[in-house]
Amino acid sequence: MLGGINTTLNSLYTPDEAKFQLNDTGAQYLVTIPQFMERALPAVQGTGVKEIFVLGEAEGATPFTTLMQSDGQLPAVEIDPQKDLVVLPYSSGTSGRPKGVMLTHRNLIAQMEQVNSTGVFHAQDTIMGVLPFYHIYGMALILLLGLRNGGKIVTIPRFDMEMFLGVMEKYGVTIAPLVPPIVLGLTKHPIVDKFNLSKLRTITSGAAPLGADLEWACMKRLNCLVLQGYGMTEVSAASHINPSDPARIRHGSVGFVLPGMESKIADVETGAALAPGQSGEICMRGPNRMIGYWNNPEATAATIDMDGWLHSGDVGYADEDGYVYVVDRVKELIKYNAYQVAPAELEAVLVTHPMVADCAVISHPDPETGEVPKAFVVTKGDVTAEELMAYVAERVAPFKKVRLVEFIDQIPKSASGKILRRILIQKDRASA
């Protein structure tokens, strides 16, 4: 209503990580809850934040309820839906620092209509709100879509399997937007059999690949549809999704491109469109595509080409019928649960340890979380893997922690000094 921009902060961020985003956006106000004030107060130091508002009461913050007591007049604001930003969520880049994704009013409205037209979500659905709303998946496909359709959103403060199942049963959840680790839990955890989930019609899964076998196993156990989608913050959440018709779902695929969008599989070197069955980079364009990265024209130009195609960094192929399959990533981001972890950021922390001479971080496959960060380390003194993991854990958000360490004599690098991660990945897979 005021024409302002909302930037959403990961609630697991350390004060330094939050400070970066507050400074990068030039944020003026911070809205939080009492439980996070211990990190919010140091986070705003040295930023442009004028005031902290808190839902409840906490020292050093203004209660949000005081804003309800004002009889002031709203200023008249002109908003251009095509150009004016409404949200500025942050997406990690391979450079190690997250980038602000500029999404306009039109971007989000287009996304609502695109997803609605697929028939996957129904008006008056009871939606499971376990995914965080600062993340584009939860923000767009649970919070905003639920509000737009007049649905009921049931939220829980954190994922706990028993609490999650109890809420699903108590409120008769009909659709659950989830991520693969939760789908895995629903498929294999014995406690699931103690709960009545008969109202559940559909599970959607995104943020990381989900195998066809796991989709089938979950469907069989819960007697509901499980369908996969695909997207990224840069397209306001979703770009592809499987149809709602059970006969047309292709398990292991992320489905069709959304209505109003175009998608192509492009040759990684030339950008030329490839034929069905050929693997290349997944590219998309449409009214839900971001207008660019905040104050970062170089990163914008590297992601959106001259013809308006957004290059996802993911490798996939389309079959003869237009179903898309994601098979790999061009980018080096690690997908831990639904979170993106930049290897370069963890490497920058590791090399500050006095006993680390050099290091490289790669993704290591993990059946529960998808991937975990693994560090290859060249030491210059006595240090244990546990000491290094603890050192990183003290300096980054919990989801970014290094989970495995392997000591190595030398980090493989190109002539220009670029870390040759593919060699380390091959070494890691071979030893596994």
DSSP 8-state symbol, 419: B
Report residue 414's pLDDT band, with 50, 70 and 90 as the boundaries. low
337 or 30, higher pLDDT = 30
pLDDT for the residue 95: 46
State yes or no: pLDDT of 2 exceeds 50. Answer: yes
User: At the topology level of CATH, where does 334-431 sit?
Assistant: GMP Synthetase; Chain A, domain 3 (3.30.300)
Residue type for position 9: L
Query: Quick check: 375 and 346 in contact, CB under 8 A?
Result: yes
pLDDT at 64 (0 to 100): 96
Query: Does residue 416 have a pLDDT over 80?
Result: no
Q: Within 10 Å of residue 388's Cβ, how many Cβ atoms? A: 22
Are 208 and 340 spatial neighbours (Cβ–Cβ below 8 Å)? Answer: no
Residue 332 has pLDDT above 90, yes or no: no
Confidence of residue 145 (pLDDT cuts 50, 70, 90): very high
What is the mean pLDDT of the segment spanning 332-338? 82
Out of 4-8, 32-36, 355-359, 389-393, pick the least confident. Answer: 355-359
The whole-number pLDDT of residue 270 equals 84
C-alpha to C-alpha distance for 106 and 124, rounded to whole angstroms: 24
Q: How far apart are CA 198 and CA 204, in angstroms?
A: 16
Class level of CATH domain 104-289+298-329: alpha beta
Q: What is the pLDDT of residue 72?
A: 78
Range 347-359 average pLDDT: 89
What pLDDT does 418 receive?
Answer: 67
Q: How confident is the model at residue 44, as a pLDDT?
A: 98
Query: 65-77: string of b/e by CB count within 10 Å (b at 16+)?
Result: eeeeeeeeeeeee
Query: Which pLDDT does position 88 carry in this prediction?
Result: 98
Do β-strands 256-257 and 370-379 pair in parallel, antiparallel, or remain unpaired?
A: unpaired
Average pLDDT over residues 45-59: 97
Range(s) for CATH 3.30.300.30 in the chain?
A: 334-431
What pTM was computed for the model?
0.82
Give residue 96's pLDDT band: very low, low, confident or very high (50, 70, 90).
low
Nearest to 96 by CA among 288, 346, 318: 346
Residue 417, pLDDT > 80, answer no
The neighbour count for residue 222, using CB atoms within 10 Å, is: 19
Q: Rounded to an integer, what distance in angstroms lies between the CA atom of residue 325 and that of residue 69? A: 53
pLDDT-wise least confident of 35-44, 90-99, 315-324, 419-428:
90-99
Neighbours of 278 (CB within 10 A): 11
Of 122-131, 268-277, 301-310, which range is least confident? 268-277
Question: How would residue 337 be classed by pLDDT, with cut points 50, 70 and 90?
Answer: confident
The residue ranking higher by pLDDT, 392 or 188, is: 392
**Average pLDDT, integer, range 403-415:** 87
Q: What is the pLDDT of residue 92?
A: 66
The mean per-residue pLDDT over the stretch 247-264 comes to 95
Query: What is d(CA 170, CA 420) in angstroms, rounded to the nearest whole number?
Result: 51
Q: Is 53 helix (H, G, I), strand (E, B) or coil?
A: strand
**C-alpha span between 232 and 239 (Å, rounded):** 8
pLDDT in tens, 148-163: 999 999 999 888 999 9
User: What is the spatial distance between Cα 263 and Cα 347, in angstroms, rounded to a whole number?
Assistant: 34
What is the Cβ-side half-sphere exposure of residue 408, based on CA atoms within 13 angstroms? 17
Give the separation between CA 228 and CA 132, rounded to whole angstroms: 19
pLDDT at 94: 38
